[in-house]
Structure 1
Amino acid sequence: MEQMKTQHPTLEERYAAFKRDGYTVFESVYDDEMLRSFKETFHRLQDNGIDRQQWWFANTCELAPKQMLPAVTNPLILDFAEKVMGPFVQLDNLTLAGFPSVSLENRNKTGWHRDRWANWPLTEDYTSPLSVNAISYLQDLTDEYGPLRVIPGSHRMPVGIPAEERGKPHPDELVLYVKAGDVVFTHNGLIHSGTQNTSGKIRYFYSVYYNKTWLKHTDNHGGPNVQRIVSEARSRNDHRTMRLFGADEQLQARANSGFLDTDEEMWVKWAAADKAAVKG
């Protein structure tokens, strides 16, 4: 008997869930070869750095463009980011990190937070985020490696967590044991936390953090490798790739469009126009 194929949610279904829950999980976005490349890049950066105990690397699209650019420009993730924020998607920062193992007494220790550019939700109405995170892990998350914890719907809840409770599991949490190569896409207002790694091995993680193009970006996009990416994108009229690195040539017109149609209607038109304009 032929096995039934797994039905993945459509972008529309994901968008509805994202607005409700504040996150969605894309399964098996990156294959073993790409995960191996990310690990090799991490160790190369660590070995070549001044401090060989450095575990957190920013500006990684400049440091390793060949290996890291595919994570920034993944079309599935970018299509969803534009659905969530409109065609105003800029790379805030690209982080590649390893978390060393800690003692078992720290197991289940958390660090609850909302992300950069978030705010305290004032109502329970959904608000389009100023920034989003596309998080991935280079190994399956287990209790030993430290799962991701989220509080679904907290991006639209005017609630917080007392300081003395921020290092503990939360009664409303959902624990996500995501697989290597999955991408967890989160609203910046979602309360979430990693969990301490007690596996005895490195817990590898990377974050493609996007924000709106009129905000400042954390990574420095002025280096020669990134500027070469921008120049090549400009030569083929690829506005989406240019925009990722702070060169949004459409921003002034779109930020002053009159706003007499819904945001989502305009976003679809603008995103389609950008794709149609690409040469080759």
Structure 2
Amino acid sequence: METLDDSNNPLKKHIHEFKTQGFTVFPKTFDETWMQRARAIFEETVNRIPYEGETPPTNLINLIEHAPSHTLQAITVPKILDFAEAIIGPYVQLESITYRRIPSITKTKAAKQSRGGYH
């Protein structure tokens, strides 16, 4: 695990973002092929499970049960595990992984939001 003493430490920056914004982004962690497969898995799962109304869900809970091999690839990335351990502690449990589908917005629109976040 990375140390938290260095102010230039990326892990420390992610922890600060998480504490101040409620989320952090790990850019370029996954390549485009992996992301396309993640989107496809999301759509396949949404189409397979029942939901109320005409609008499909934007969140999938317990995705590790729906797509274990793909989900395990995501949660075993060292920098993500280091972050989880720094936030939760050394006994991170990963039984409930949630994927969230959020429509993309422009940087201009994001800048108008209360926190100005863009992801």
So what's the TM-score if we normalise by structure 1?
A: 0.32
Task: Please say which structure displays the higher CA radius of gyration.
Answer: 1
Aligned pairs for 1:1-280 within 5 A: 9-11=8-10, 13-14=12-13, 17-18=16-17, 21=20, 24-51=24-51, 53-55=55-57, 56-91=59-94, 93-98=96-101, 141-142=105-106, 147=110, 173-178=114-119
Counterparts in 2 of 1:66 and 1:143: CA distance versus 1, 3 Å: same
Q: Any unmatched runs of 5+ in structure 1?
A: 1-8, 101-139, 150-168, 179-280
- Return closer, same or farther for 1:84/1:62 CA change in 2, 3 Å cut-off: same
Change (3 A) 1:50 1:68: same
Which residue is 2:4 aligned to? none
| Cα distance, 1:26 vs structure 2 | 2.4
The letter for the 2-side match of 1:10 is N
User: How many correspondences in the alignment?
Assistant: 108
3-state SS of 2:13 partner: helix
Structure 1 counterpart of 2:38, which letter?
F
Identity %: 26
Residue deviations 1:153-174 (CA, integer Å, cap 9, x gap)? xxxxxxxxxxxxxxxx5xxx32
SS at match of 1:27: coil
Paired with 1:38 and 1:50, the residues of 2 have a C-alpha distance of 20
By percentage of residues, which structure has more strand? 1
Q: Any conservation in 1 of the 2:11–2:79 contact (CA below 8 Å)?
A: no
- With normalisation by structure 2, the TM-score equals 0.65
CA gap of 1:177–1:85, structure 2 versus 1, over 3 A, is: same
Moved over 4 A (4+): 146-149
What are structure 2's unaligned runs of at least 5 residues? 1-7
* Alignment RMSD: 3.5
Q: CA deviation at 1:85?
A: 3.0
Q: Label 1:15 to 1:143 Cα distance change in 2 as closer, same or farther (>3 A).
A: closer
Going from structure 1 to structure 2, the CA distance change for 1:45 and 1:11 (only over 3 Å counts) comes to same
How many angstroms does 1:177 deviate by? 1.5
